[in-house]
Structure 1
Amino acid sequence: MDATDRLDVIDTCTRMAWYADRRDWDRLTEVFADKVTLDYTSLNGGEPVTLTPAQITDGWRAGLGVYDATQHLVGNHLVTADGDSAVCTATFQATHLKSDGSRWTLGGTYRFDLARTGAGWRITGVVMTAVWSDGER
């Protein structure tokens, strides 16, 4: 993997958080492959799910919509690649604010699986591992 690919992988993962926080739902769909496996079981229980970008966006619009603002900070990216596949692991801190001043902050790690497509790198899987939280969800 060359430096350009590495930066493109990191940029794709960063744009996921950026577009979600900006509520830019149309652009958010662009970072995902046609089918994406999401694993948020460390937070919500249950089983991982495979969804389309539109289904992800609809779910996040509803889930994040209860907050007046969110900020997902993603950093410490580690990228490995094998041909047209890549894995990016990163730490995150996500703050969720309501107008009444209540705040819920969550920290942990992401594992992004990505595939190189004709349109660039696209996320095919996300595993979010919650490590800590503060405040009331």
Structure 2
Amino acid sequence: MNPTHVTDDLQWLRRRVRELTDREEITDLVYRLSVALDEGRFEELKSIFTDDAVAQTPGGLAQGRDALIAQAARNHSSEERIQHLIGNVLIDMDGDRADVRANLLATFASPGTADAQDTARLAPEPRLTLGEVYRFQAVRTPHGWRLSRVETTPLWTTGRSRSA
């Protein structure tokens, strides 16, 4: 066995494992974002976004993580049930940076009850469902990967907004 090939193979394998681990960590950030928004756990966004993160959404422009968290809290009322379904996460890696695209289906419904065993008491029909494209920028930090930018592009909507 040629030692050069073994060394090259090991280096290739290390790079590949690191890329796969990076992709998994970035995908996990996207999924953790959806759960934090659904459950109103906005303080968890501190471990998802960088300090200088920027968000451009239908809810407006937020610059800085604290402004982003405040915007998320304003736009995701605890008075209703919300479910973000995020899929088709595509990641373009570029060293310690990555561009991410994902599809979003978000459904908003009145609270109903918390008793999932009693289907008659679950939330009634959703008042709003929307489809959007998420675009993120992610960066490697000393604390792992974090999202530094999020933009949403609305594609379609059914139902009515809270202001309607």
CA distance in 2, matches of 1:97, 1:57: 22
Match of 1:7 among 11, 15, 24: 24
Q: Which runs of 5+ in 2 are unaligned?
A: 1-17, 113-123
Helix, strand or coil: the match of 2:22?
A: helix
Higher strand proportion (structure 1 or 2): 1
CA distance in 2, matches of 1:83, 1:90: 20
Q: Are 1:23 and 2:40 counterparts?
A: yes
CA distance in 2, matches of 1:67, 1:35: 29
Instruction: Mark the structure with the bigger radius of gyration.
Output: 2
Residue 85 of structure 2 corresponds to: 73
CA contact (8 A) 1:70 1:95 kept: yes
Over the aligned positions, Cα root-mean-square deviation in angstroms equals 1.8
Normalising by structure 1, we get a TM-score of: 0.87
Q: Which runs of 5+ in 1 are unaligned?
A: none
Residue 152 of structure 2 corresponds to: 128
Higher helix proportion (structure 1 or 2): 2
Residue 95 of structure 1 corresponds to: 107
State the identity as a percent: 29
Q: Are 1:55 and 2:67 counterparts?
A: yes
**Bigger relative contact order, structure 1 or 2 (CA pairs below 8 A, ≥6 apart):** 1
* Number of aligned residue pairs: 132
CA contact (8 A) 1:67 1:97 kept: no
CA distance in 1, matches of 2:48, 2:91: 17
State the one-letter code of the partner of 1:135.
G
